Amino acid sequence: MSKTIYLTTPLYYVNASPHIGHSYTEVAADALARYYRLKGEPVFLLTGTDEHGQKIAQAAAAAGQEPQAFVDRVVGTFQSLWKTLDIRYDRFIRTTEPAHITAVQELLAQLYDGKKLTRAEYQGWYCTPDETFWTEGELATAGAPSRAGTSSPPHAERGAPGSVAGAPLCPSCQRPLESAKEEGWYLRLRAHEDWLKQFVRQHPQFVRPETRYNELKSLLEQPLPEYLCITRPKSRVSWGIPVPFSADHVVYVWFDALLNYLTVPRYLERQRKDLWPPDVHFIGKDILRHHALYWPIMLHELGVPDEQMPKTIFAHGWWKIGEQKMSKSLGNIVDPTAVVGGLLKDQPYAADVYRYFLLREIPFGQDGSFSEEAILKRLNTDLGNDLGNLVNRTLSMLDRYLQGAVPVVPKDQLDILGDQIVGGAGAEGRRGLADAAESLTETVQRAMDHLEFSVALEAIMGVASRANQYIELSAPWKLAKQPGNERQLKQVLGVLAEVLRIVSIHMEPFMPSVARAIWQQLGLHGEPARLSDARWSTTVENRSIAKDHPVLFPRMETVG
């Protein structure tokens, strides 16, 4: 059975509606999945929601709802945003699905039966917003400020979880931690340290980009905590999957959620043996530790051999708002629904503009800054001036000079064409545009292989700009005025139409509706669905552009 490319996103917490950060991971994963589909490769995109744990239980209580009713409501905000953003996933998993719950219990029982779990008491610090436990050792390594007025040795604190004056801050989100002492079930971490170090050394692609791989290597230079507690006492957190062999416990939310990557191919989609191992786990850099330390160790304990480990965990950067971190308390959370349905409401392809902005604005893997000005700038310049203008000019000229007929210029005529039309630009102008359009296949592939979405988009838009220059150089309006130039005029407009056809195919993973619109305005049937069609046409066909070709990206005044 041939392998299907298996891509995953994190399961988003449903304590609140989605924000720009969630949409970023989702759009990136969707763009890669669409790209593989365009190439004709089998691909499976898994996404979903993380619905258990203390944080969700607290949010439900604050909303005055039972947890299940609460998550049933909030999950809808994610699903409807994915619809708005044209996310084409193959499976949406909710961790409250009965089949996932049974699967997690089965895997847990497997670990228990295999004597992989230890029962003990743990002592340390808990971050509820991150649902993450920190040992004193980890806090010391992360350089967290120590508590005022205590000189207790590690693990000396006692008592139920709760805020403590002078509590250390969470190394990940910088919020105060709560002291926690709980009895539970543990997975061994340190026992697998040597194995993990070697695995990571031997698999430089395991974590990408390189900065995150190096971060993982330096995390591994410190000793791993002895254990990971994978349960929570029911007395404190009741909203979780019951532990089959321990009536007083529920499963730790991260343990439950990480297993989704395995429960889906192994239990929920029983026929999908072709999925494992995952090809890319898309995550944000804040959850690298869970994915690159805990997850492989969990799999290792479950008996997954090294060659069946996930291939790549790609940890992308963080969106800031202007120069600030996005947070509820600062009141600066960017709601994608408000951007698409508010700021961009007059745009016919608002969702695509948003998708384009996310993937073009910052190199995937680095941090970036969101602002309304930035999105409008991308809209007016790249999309309006370059792509939109090219479509508009080409279609209008086809309309005006050739009554909408699209001439097809076979490749072997392009040399003559180039010499005649772009004579002034010499050899460089010759076939340059056609070659640039055709070479997109290779350039985009190279970029997509490394998840360099901004590089792929830059190359595609570069061809659009070049086509605009070609219009200036060849000045079809002059050719139209001078008798005897009909053949040349036809060729110029034919070249432009062909470049646009190729560009629209490459645009599909990023801006699916825009790509379809260009395709249909060019009078082509169906949709830009095959990358193999991104070659210069060799056959002559009779085709006319669509009657209507409304402007794709109406210009918007920048705010402020």
What's the half-sphere exposure (Cβ side, CA atoms, 13 Å) at 431? 12
- Rounded Cα distance between 198 and 195, Å, is 5
Q: Which of 4, 5, 7, 10 binds ligand MSP (CB under 6 A)?
A: 10
Give the nearest distance from C-beta 269 to ligand MSP in angstroms: 17
Q: Decide: 219 and 289 in contact? Cβ < 8 Å.
A: yes
Question: Which part of the chain contacts ligand MSP (CB under 6 A), choosing from 17-25, 67-75, 182-190, 350-358?
Answer: 17-25
Using the rule CB under 6 A, is 225 a contact of ligand MSP? no
Tokens of 226: 């002895």
Best CA proximity match to 414, nearest among 500, 496, 533, 519? 496
- The nearer residue to ligand MSP, 16 or 164, going by C-beta atoms, is 16
Residues listed for the chain? 560
Q: Which of 5, 6, 17, 25 binds ligand MSP (CB under 6 A)?
A: 25
Q: Decide: 117 and 111 in contact? Cβ < 8 Å.
A: yes
Q: Which of 176, 233, 244, 284 binds ligand MSP (CB under 6 A)?
A: 284
Using the rule CB under 6 A, is 319 a contact of ligand MSP? yes
Q: Which of 101, 111, 257, 451 binds ligand MSP (CB under 6 A)?
A: 257
- The nearer residue to ligand MSP, 283 or 492, going by C-beta atoms, is 283
Best CA proximity match to 164, nearest among 225, 131, 130, 123? 123
What is the contact mask toward ligand MSP in residues 40 to 59, using x (rule: CB under 6 A)?
----------x---------
Give the nearest distance from C-beta 252 to ligand MSP in angstroms: 12
**Which residue, judged by CB position, is nearest to ligand MSP in the bound state?**
284
- The nearer residue to ligand MSP, 304 or 480, going by C-beta atoms, is 304
Best CA proximity match to 4, nearest among 88, 107, 90? 90
Q: Decide: 520 and 436 in contact? Cβ < 8 Å.
A: no
Tell me, what amino acid is at 425? A
Q: Decide: 474 and 386 in contact? Cβ < 8 Å.
A: no
Give the nearest distance from C-beta 437 to ligand MSP in angstroms: 33
- Beta bridge partners, 228, equal 187
Give the nearest distance from C-beta 290 to ligand MSP in angstroms: 7
Using the rule CB under 6 A, is 275 a contact of ligand MSP? no
Tell me how many residues contact ligand MSP (CB under 6 A).
18
Q: Which of 6, 7, 17, 22 binds ligand MSP (CB under 6 A)?
A: 22
Q: Which of residues 384-423 bind ligand MSP (CB under 6 A)?
A: none
Q: Which of 5, 6, 7, 24 binds ligand MSP (CB under 6 A)?
A: 24
Q: Which of 4, 5, 6, 13 binds ligand MSP (CB under 6 A)?
A: 13
Q: Where are the alpha helices (DSSP H) in 320-451?
A: 336-338, 350-361, 372-378, 389-402, 414-421, 426-429, 432-449
Burial letters 21-43, b for 16+ CB under 10 A, else e: bbbbbbbbbbbbbbbbbbbeeeb
Question: Which part of the chain contacts ligand MSP (CB under 6 A), choosing from 21-29, 149-157, 214-222, 456-464?
Answer: 21-29
Best CA proximity match to 390, nearest among 506, 524, 501, 491? 501
Q: Which of 4, 6, 7, 12 binds ligand MSP (CB under 6 A)?
A: 12
Q: Measured in whole angstroms, how far is the alpha carbon of residue 501 from the centre of its chain?
A: 26
Q: Which of 41, 178, 286, 533 binds ligand MSP (CB under 6 A)?
A: 286
Q: Which of 287, 343, 387, 463 binds ligand MSP (CB under 6 A)?
A: 287
Angstrom CA distances, 115 to 186, 245, 246, 512, stand at: 11, 12, 14, 50
Give the nearest distance from C-beta 50 to ligand MSP in angstroms: 4
CB atoms under 10 Å from CB of 371, counted, come to: 15
Tokens of 243: 């532990």
- The nearer residue to ligand MSP, 133 or 553, going by C-beta atoms, is 133
Question: Which part of the chain contacts ligand MSP (CB under 6 A), choosing from 5-13, 206-214, 390-398, 527-535?
Answer: 5-13
Best CA proximity match to 72, nearest among 24, 14, 20? 14
Give the nearest distance from C-beta 257 to ligand MSP in angstroms: 4
- Rounded Cα distance between 14 and 285, Å, is 19
- The nearer residue to ligand MSP, 332 or 544, going by C-beta atoms, is 332
Q: Which of 75, 243, 326, 463 binds ligand MSP (CB under 6 A)?
A: 326
- The nearer residue to ligand MSP, 23 or 491, going by C-beta atoms, is 23
Q: What 3 state SS string does 520-559 have?
A: HHCCCCCCCCCHHHCCCCCCCCCEECCCCCCCCCCCCCCC
Give the nearest distance from C-beta 404 to ligand MSP in angstroms: 45
Best CA proximity match to 402, nearest among 489, 284, 319? 489
- The nearer residue to ligand MSP, 252 or 536, going by C-beta atoms, is 252
Give the nearest distance from C-beta 395 to ligand MSP in angstroms: 37
- Beta bridge partners, 286, equal none
Using the rule CB under 6 A, is 283 a contact of ligand MSP? yes
Tell me, what amino acid is at 3? K
Q: Which of residues 123-142 bind ligand MSP (CB under 6 A)?
A: none
What's the half-sphere exposure (Cβ side, CA atoms, 13 Å) at 464? 27
Q: Which of residues 135-194 bind ligand MSP (CB under 6 A)?
A: none
Q: Decide: 249 and 243 in contact? Cβ < 8 Å.
A: yes
Using the rule CB under 6 A, is 258 a contact of ligand MSP? yes
> Which residues contribute to the site for ligand MSP (CB under 6 A)?
10-13, 21-22, 24-25, 50, 257-258, 283-284, 286-287, 318-319, 326
